[in-house]
Structure 1
Amino acid sequence: MKQKSTSQSAFFNLRVLIGLFVVLTGVFLAVIGLGTFSGLTASSAKAQQKARIITNPPNALVPAGFDCSQIRALGIDRQDNLRAGAIMIACGEAQGGSASNFAELMQQALAATPLAYGGTDVNLITGTDSGSHITQSETFSWRNPNNPNEIVVAYNDSRGVFASPINISGASVSEDGGATFTRLTAANGQSPFQNTFGDPVALFNVPTSTWFAIFLDPACGGQGIGAYKTTTPSNPNGWVHSCVHNGSSDDRESGWADNNPSSPFFGNMYVSWNNFADGGSLRVRFSTDNGGTWTERQLAPPSPFIRDVQITGDLATGTVYVAGMNEGGGGTGGPRSNKIYRSTDGGNTWTNTFTSANFTGPSDGSTCTSNSYFATIFTGYWRHMGWGEPAAVNNVVHYVYAQHGTGADPADVYYIR
């Protein structure tokens, strides 16, 4: 009888608990219906509405008064630069990154044994690097052919995101062939490249023995392409500013310098980029007077959109090549195709000499969680469209890039020449 009574009691208690749960659920829904949470809902909606026009920018990367409804019309979602990313975050179209526990653990391990990984790897970020903005990315390196011990590496550097004016560009210099590097730091604690948005290019001009560090630059039309030049790269006070292109929506610039004395175009410098002021046309500017003036050419119209992947030149002949990519509208479904544009007259005229067959871009089937235009690998984590790297010598062009592999293989590296 005891056992029977216990069983009945347990069954009764279970029914009571279920009944209470149903009642509480009803009360909760009723409370929502009566508007107890309406203030929260209204405030969230209000915040989203306010975010459509940015009235209080979180930092200098985001322009005050920016209309978030214009993101796609302006091509912000297709741009690759830090300013575009900051605008996407401010408009609620993307989520800002945060350090993971794994990343923190790796930072601690590397700080304890900075040379334990990679053997001969050398840390370019010298000096104190503290605070919440300690990220560097997107390197571009060049060596002085007249002095191989002199190397400049330009990169994005977030330490100056709250500086006035903003400064998220940096560089490190080696005078001993890469055995050691020194991070350029001016007296104000920032790099010498003030008022820049990153997207680095580093070039050396042999005829004048001058270094050029090139970045996206608000002083050159709002978001144009600026250059800092010097003959003493290790001196942070020696860099002098100029503009390569005055533009409002330039993106993903690349550069090359012809330093071959036997080339018919010896001393020419070239910069390619996408101009989103007109929707993303592919353009090149070249200088025949050591960076004093720049002449512009359009290689491809805004539509179909051709991504500026990389510019390079033939080390023997001086012929210049731009690798581009038709991204097929982005995402994972759009077919990709590689393109090569060539100039044999020092940048004056250009011809599309190669267009590949369509291929599927590298991806595991996911897109970037912060921007669905960009395909990713590892389920929304690693953004990758398959952009490659060209090289040329003696009229032979070599190109490596990535596309979807065979079967379920999300990505493989391919080579063509």
Structure 2
Amino acid sequence: MKKKSTSQSAFFNLRVLIGLFVALAGVSVALFATAKPARPTSPQARQKYKVTTQSAWDPLVPAAFDCSKIHELGIDRQENLRAGAIMIFCGLSEGGKAVSGGKQHFSKLVKSLTAPLAYGSTDVDLITGTETFPNVTQSETFTTANPDNLLEIGAAYNDSRGRNFNPINISGASFSTDGGATFTRLTKANGQSPFDNTFGDPVLLYNKPSGTWFTVWLDGACGGQGLGGYKSATPEDPNSWTHFCVFNEGSADRESGWADNNPSSPHFGNMYV
């Protein structure tokens, strides 16, 4: 009787092992193809169709806001504070966070390298009065001087001190009567600016024919989020400002403005927003 050689037996076993490996691979692929894909569990996916029941999470987020409407309403293309708060609430944007460690040092280095060597004169503080953490952020100034009195200068800006006030008020302004040497922030007896129910995005204009100052903001009283504001002929008095609407709508975004104060212009006295 002939005996199989060791080499033949080893060759046969190798072919068996390769066959088993191919079969197992085929079974694995079949199981993977029939398995149900796992549903995403990221915060973005979970919150995509979130609907608020109230706005206690952030007073800038409207009650009963449906996160699935963000693109339809154009909120993902806006840059105002309310749009940012909604994007963060719905998990489609990341909010700010503290910088620490190496990142903090690098940020300071970049700021020092990009700072101008000489820019104007000594800095002047616009923000007077009480500040209560964490609503201590101001940004995005719009500055105007009175052409009839160059000692009177106004600066409007976003001001978070009224973020939790009712009605919300995240708009502020400061005025100088000494040519910009000092400024005083407009503050009523309730501790807020005169610009109730506004969401920032400042415009500040002086109208020469009427001698009146006009602020324009994203305004909740003008269609939900239209353009409106407050006007005054005595701007340093926080109780002198009265409300008006430019136009009503629900999704206005970062406006700008200009006043034609040139007496020789055919459009003298017109204001544009």
Q: TM-score, structure 2 length as denominator?
A: 0.75
Structure 2 spans left out of the alignment, 5+ residues: 1-38, 109-118
Point out the structure with the larger strand share. Answer: 1
Matched residue of 2:209: which SS?
helix
Give the conservation status (yes or no) of the 8 Å contact 1:54–1:91.
Answer: no
The share of aligned pairs that are identical, in percent, is 65
Give yes or no for contact 1:54–1:90 (8 Å, CA) kept in 2: no
SS state of the match for residue 180, structure 1? coil
Greater RCO between the two (CA within 8 Å, min separation 6)?
2
Provide the rounded CA distance (Å) in 1 between the counterparts of 2:159 and 2:72.
29
Residue of structure 2 equivalent to 1:33: none
Q: Deviations along 1:164-196, whole A, 9 cap, x unmatched?
A: 000000001011110100111111111110100
Instruction: Give the aligned partner of residue 97 of structure 1.
Output: 96
CA drift at 1:60: 2.5
C-alpha distance in 2 between matches for 1:137 and 1:78 = 20
Q: Residue 195 of structure 1 corresponds to which residue in structure 2?
A: 197
5 Å-filtered alignment, 1:314-393, equals none
CA distance in 2, matches of 1:151, 1:49: 45
CA deviation after TM superposition for structure 1 residue 42, in Å:
11
The answer to whether the 8 A contact 1:186-1:237 is kept is: yes
- Number of the residue aligned with 1:130: 132
> 1:134 Cα shift?
0.7
Task: Call closer, same or farther: CA 1:49–1:142 in 2, change over 3 Å.
Answer: closer
Report which of the two structures shows the higher radius of gyration computed on alpha carbons. Answer: 2
More helix by share: 2
The one-character-per-residue Cα deviations of 1:186-238 (angstroms, maximum 9, x if unpaired) are 11111110100000000000111000011000100000001200011111111
Distance 2:163 2:49 in 1: 21
- Structure 2 CA distance for partners of 1:239 and 1:73, relative to 1, 3 Å: same
CA distance in 2, matches of 1:253, 1:236: 24
Alignment RMSD: 2.5
Per the alignment, in what secondary structure is the counterpart of residue 72 of structure 2?
Answer: coil
Deviation at 1:49, TM superposition (A): 5.0
Alignment of 1:79-228 (within 5 A): 79-101=78-100, 102=104, 120-228=122-230
Aligned match of 1:64:
63
Choose which of 256, 259, 268 in structure 2 pairs with 1:266. 268
Q: How many residues get paired?
A: 220
Aligned to 2:53: 55
Structure 1 44/118 Cα, relative in aligned 2: closer, same or farther at 3 Å?
A: same
Q: Alpha-carbon deviation of 1:98?
A: 2.8
- For residues 161 and 46 of structure 2, what CA distance do their matches in structure 1 show? 29
SS at match of 2:71: coil
Alignment TM-score, normalising by the size of structure 1: 0.50
- How far apart are residue 150 of structure 1 and its match? 0.5
State the secondary structure of the residue aligned to 1:48: helix
Distance 2:199 2:210 in 1: 27
List runs of 5+ in structure 1 lacking aligned partners: 1-40, 107-116, 272-417
